Structure 1
């Protein structure tokens, strides 16, 4: 990032932080992708809260960015296990923020398994959670009762540009890896599993590139949406898998279980938009499959008479090329900052919430002032 670009970004976040400054600054724990543009956002979170730790998503850490953030904020290792065990989760939060009001800034529902214990047993107060992703939104929404407010930005209209561009970056990265092996998209039918915001973006770009696209989704409403946009919709998932030369998994849940991999046609490529543990049940893949590297970020799985290729070990393929969505990501990050202030209000009840239309309009107007040039 050029110096003038960083200065503009810092000025934007300073304006946002001023607009949404909470009356009482809570402490915060921030889960985030540590990409090159991220220090400006981390600084804004620090302006709106007492930021006790950054927990970088382990498969999207830029080393130089990590070193920069560590100069001002502790960075702790992040695993699902850290917050799946209630005792471990409470002990960790206590170690960093004993007795304090705490906002949990999440990407993917990491805090969900231990949220009850944190609210019940932590010496301070969990004021709530801000969740960034659809996958995480579902993890919290699936619970019968939430012990604190969860403010989701996953379905905000300000996130639509990011979701669209992430879909584009997934196709770019998948195609780049295929070309590295001398393969191309054309002539290779594609199956998109999941027709949400990311899946629909992926499907549209593949179609624009002249690729034959089939969609599979368990939701009949999304099936109808896919049909209305001109895509074939698979009724039989096994048959769809067998016919696809490229499978792109975009559900945020488990798209392919162990027994599904045998349905892939020989030579098929498999890529995902999220982490492998969320999208693929690789642990259940039959042990008869052998793994072999086929160049950087491509793994060949093979057994007698069958083989397929897995891109980036099943992790989000777009992070191989920076996962950049340009300045549109700053709309979502600003909404997260607005969420911190919303959680500090004493009148917000436990349950799922969103920030209001007025706050979103303020964010969009500020963003346009800095980036629509």
Structure 2
């Protein structure tokens, strides 16, 4: 990031944090993609909360950003296992923030499996969670009853620009990997599984590139919407998988089960918009498949009479090319900062919540002042 761009970003976040200062600063744990521009956001979290640790998503860590953050804040290793076991999760929080009021800033529902235990057994108090992604939103929404407030920005209108641009970056990266192997998008039927904001963006861009696109979603309302927008909608999921030459998974949950992979047509490519552990049941792949490298960031899975290609080991394909969505990401980050103040007030009931429209409007107005030039 250029010095002038960093200065503008720091000034923008200073304005945002000035609007959302809590009366009493809580402690915080921050799960984040540690991309090159991220230190400015991390510092802003540290203005509104005592940042006890940054937990970077394992497959999106920029070394320079990590070194910069480590000068101010502990950076701990993140894994699903860390918070899958309640006792381990409680022990971890005790080691960093015993007896403190804590806000958990999440990307992907990492705290969800142990949230009840953290709220009940932690020596301090869990004020709540701010969740950034649709995948994480679903994980928290599936809890019988969250033991604390969960403030989701995953479905915020301020996230719409990010989702649209992420969809573009997914298509760009998938096409780049295919071209690296001498293949192209046109003439290869595509299947998009999951028709949320990301999936819809991917489908529209593929269609604009002249690709024959079929879409599938478990929600019949979304399937009806897709049909009204001119997409072919799969009535039979298994048959759609068999026909596709490119499968893009954008469900935020499990898109392809182990038994689905042998149904892929020979030479099909598979890519996701999130991590392999969320979208793909690779552990359920039948015995007999072998893996070999087949070009940059492409793995060939083959068994007798069958083969397919997996992009970026099943992880978000767009992270291969930076996953940048420009300054629009700063809208969502500002909403996360607003969420810290909301949770610090301790006046929300347990359950799912959103940032109010007036706070979103204030964020958008500030952002436009700095980035609509």
Superposition TM-score tier, normalisation by shorter sequence: over 0.9
In 1: Cα distance, 2:323 partner to 2:147 partner = 34
Deviation of 1:63 after TM superposition, in Å, equals 1.1
Name the counterpart of 2:156: 156
Deviation of 1:74 after TM superposition, in Å, equals 0.5
**Alignment pair present for 1:116 and 2:116:** yes
Alignment size in residue pairs: 373
Q: Matched residue of 1:73: which SS?
A: coil
Name the counterpart of 2:340: 340
Q: Matched residue of 2:150: which SS?
A: strand
Deviation of 1:142 after TM superposition, in Å, equals 1.2
Name the counterpart of 1:131: 131
In 2: Cα distance, 1:359 partner to 1:183 partner = 46
What is the aligned-residue RMSD (CA, Å)?
0.6
Deviation of 1:45 after TM superposition, in Å, equals 0.3
Residue ranges of structure 1 left out of the alignment (5+ in a row)? none
Deviation of 1:57 after TM superposition, in Å, equals 0.3
In 1: Cα distance, 2:26 partner to 2:147 partner = 18
In 2: Cα distance, 1:138 partner to 1:319 partner = 22
Name the counterpart of 1:193: 193
Deviation of 1:203 after TM superposition, in Å, equals 0.1
Deviation of 1:348 after TM superposition, in Å, equals 1.2
Name the counterpart of 2:222: 222
Q: Matched residue of 2:28: which SS?
A: strand
Query: What per-residue deviation string (whole Å, max 9, x for no partner) do you get for residues 131-150 of structure 1?
Result: 00111111111112111111
Residue ranges of structure 2 left out of the alignment (5+ in a row)? none
Deviation of 1:15 after TM superposition, in Å, equals 0.6
**Alignment pair present for 1:353 and 2:329:** no
In 2: Cα distance, 1:222 partner to 1:295 partner = 36
Name the counterpart of 2:10: 10
Query: What per-residue deviation string (whole Å, max 9, x for no partner) do you get for residues 253-298 of structure 1?
Result: 1111111001100000000000000000000111201100012200
In 2: Cα distance, 1:26 partner to 1:255 partner = 37
Name the counterpart of 2:317: 317
Deviation of 1:101 after TM superposition, in Å, equals 0.4
Deviation of 1:160 after TM superposition, in Å, equals 0.5
In 2: Cα distance, 1:177 partner to 1:167 partner = 16
Query: What per-residue deviation string (whole Å, max 9, x for no partner) do you get for residues 103-128 of structure 1?
Result: 00000110011011111111111000
Instruction: Trace 1:98-117 onto structure 2 (pairs within 5 A).
Output: 98-117=98-117
Deviation of 1:50 after TM superposition, in Å, equals 0.2
Q: Matched residue of 1:59: which SS?
A: strand
In 2: Cα distance, 1:237 partner to 1:143 partner = 27
In 1: Cα distance, 2:94 partner to 2:174 partner = 42
Name the counterpart of 2:255: 255
Name the counterpart of 2:181: 181
In 2: Cα distance, 1:359 partner to 1:150 partner = 17
TM-score, normalized by length of structure 1?
A: 0.99
Query: What per-residue deviation string (whole Å, max 9, x for no partner) do you get for residues 60-92 of structure 1?
Result: 111111111111111000000100100000000
Q: Matched residue of 1:210: which SS?
A: coil
In 2: Cα distance, 1:195 partner to 1:357 partner = 25
Instruction: Trace 1:89-100 onto structure 2 (pairs within 5 A).
Output: 89-100=89-100
In 1: Cα distance, 2:232 partner to 2:136 partner = 29
In 1: Cα distance, 2:228 partner to 2:67 partner = 48
Query: What per-residue deviation string (whole Å, max 9, x for no partner) do you get for residues 166-193 of structure 1?
Result: 1110000000000000110010000000
Deviation of 1:346 after TM superposition, in Å, equals 2.7
Query: What per-residue deviation string (whole Å, max 9, x for no partner) do you get for residues 233-258 of structure 1?
Result: 00111111111110000001111111
Instruction: Flag as ranges the 4+ runs of structure 1 deviating above 4 A.
Output: none
Query: What per-residue deviation string (whole Å, max 9, x for no partner) do you get for residues 319-348 of structure 1?
Result: 000000000000000000000000011321
Query: What per-residue deviation string (whole Å, max 9, x for no partner) do you get for residues 155-214 of structure 1?
Result: 110001001111110000000000000110010000000111100000000000000000
Q: Matched residue of 2:75: which SS?
A: coil
Q: Matched residue of 1:367: which SS?
A: helix
Name the counterpart of 1:307: 307
Name the counterpart of 1:239: 239
